[in-house]
Amino acid sequence: MLLLSGCASVNAQYNPAKPHHTPEGFKNNYISSVTKSRGDFFRWQYQRLVDDLPKPPQTPTPAVPPDVAFIQRNGKVTSTPASSAIMQPAITWIGHATMLVQANGLNVLTDPIFSERASPVQSFGPRRAQPPGLSIEQLPPIDVVLISHNHYDHLDKTSVLALANIVNTERSATLFLVPLGVKALFDDLGIKNVRELDWWDNVNVKGVEFNFTPVQHWSARGLNDRSQTLWGGWAIFGTQTHWYFSGDSGYSQDFTDTRKRFAERQTPANGGGFDMALIPVGAYEPRWFMKDQHINPAEAVQIHQDLRAKRSVGVHWGTFNLTDEPLDQPPKDLSLALRERGLAPDVFTVMAIGQTRVFAARPDP
């Protein structure tokens, strides 16, 4: 309930020159709000209670032991031409929207949550169905942490504090890249190496460009801060790999806008579109309640096509029971959506928790 209702507040980041800024907070590009009423929320909760939803999964979320030796070895090399060893582009699914991306000489974490529950407190709230695929202690030195928005299943205080407190003797301190307005939360935690970005802002980290991009969603951590901080996705460009992470989103034209924004650097002569896109495929039922804020697998496939990604991987499923579909339903619906679009099953896949997948680097320009 804390995440689904809110009162008006003052936007400390308000810039009247930007259409998605309002005095009370932020809004989306193609729909002003995805807010549902308290009545809608209680209607949903009553119906899922009556229907005994979500149903238990028929099969558990797949999980494999992580290849810690490879992850550590790969995480300690760079991608510069003078290096004796080159980082292989690789992703490791830790669970939910948390992915370790090793590419362009950087170790990057998306929306890290290692806690048992996605909740303000660990005594109640959505509980993990599977442990994280990697523990914090098994991670390589993390260069950058990307936060898409401030919901509890994407911004976990315990996890970011633990990551910030790791002393990396071989690398510089972890940099946290966060949406506009979220830096204040990190300041309260005593985390100082933080940059906050508005839509289309970018930061260069060791030659790799991180762009914060629009998506259709919302933010809140309590009753009084609805949409007062920004939300978004991330488009990352390095000489070795172009990759994308959408965070949470309803379906909108924002993904086509993102492709068009970066079209000149992704022409066929320059290696084409995103080498890898991380797109949510879970937490989408019932559609009447979730459609504006969470895509379903069919819409995820459309986003894959809108971005013109070479490969996509489904995230945001199989970890926390947040909505009405069973935990194992998203891969089934994704497979159906691919067949209906006539797409090969290997262009958009899911992974096992703990699994590492290596993919090809871009050709030299």
What pLDDT digit, counting tens, does each position of 8-17 carry?
A: 457 888 999 9
Range of the domain at 78: 21-358
Q: Does some domain include residue 14?
A: no
Q: Indicate whether 8 belongs to any domain.
A: no
Least confident of 88-92, 108-112, 136-140, 223-227: 223-227
pLDDT at 258: 98
User: What proportion of the chain, given as a percentage, has pLDDT over 90?
Assistant: 85
Q: How far apart are CA 136 and CA 98, in angstroms?
A: 12
Q: In this structure, are residues 181 and 196 in contact, taking their beta carbons and an 8 Å threshold? A: yes
Within its chain, how far is the Cα of 202 from the centroid?
17
In single-letter form, the type of residue at position 57 comes to P
pTM assigned to the model = 0.94
Instruction: Round the average pLDDT of the chain to a whole number and report it.
Output: 93
User: Is the pLDDT assigned to residue 81 strictly greater than 60?
Assistant: no
Let me know if residue 184 belongs to a domain. yes
What pLDDT shows up at residue 9?
54
pLDDT at 79 > cutoff 60: no
The domain that holds 346 is classified in CATH as: 3.60.15.10
Q: What are phi and psi of 250, to 5 degrees?
A: -85, 170
Integer Cα distance of 247 and 146 in angstroms:
10
- Residue 118 backbone phi and psi in degrees, to 5: -95, 85
Rounded to 5°, the CA angle 216-153-71 comes to 105
If one counts every other C-beta atom within 10 angstroms of the C-beta of residue 72, the result is: 13
> In this structure, what DSSP letter does residue 308 have?
T
The answer to whether residue 289 is domain-embedded is yes
Percent of the chain with pLDDT over 70: 95
Give a yes or no: residue 7 inside a domain.
no
Structurally, the chain folds into a number of domains equal to 1
Q: Which amino acid is at 74?
A: N
Residues whose CB is less than 8 angstroms from the CB of residue 302 and which lie 6 or more positions away in sequence, other chains included: 251
Tokens 């320009």 belong to which residue? 365
pLDDT digits (tens, 9 = 90+) for 181-191: 999 999 999 99
11 lies in a domain?
Answer: no
- State the pLDDT at residue 4: 41
Is residue 16 a part of any domain in this protein? no
Contact between 184 and 147 (Cβ < 8 Å): no
pLDDT one-digit tens code per residue, 244-260 = 999 999 999 999 999 99
Sign of CA dihedral 288, 290, 296, 302: positive
First and final C-alpha spacing in the chain = 50
Q: Is 163 helix (H, G, I), strand (E, B) or coil?
A: helix
> Does residue 270 lie within any of the structural domains?
yes
Per-residue pLDDT reduced to its tens digit, 28-74: 999 977 888 889 999 999 999 999 999 999 999 999 999 999 999 99
The residue with tokens 């992915």 is: 99
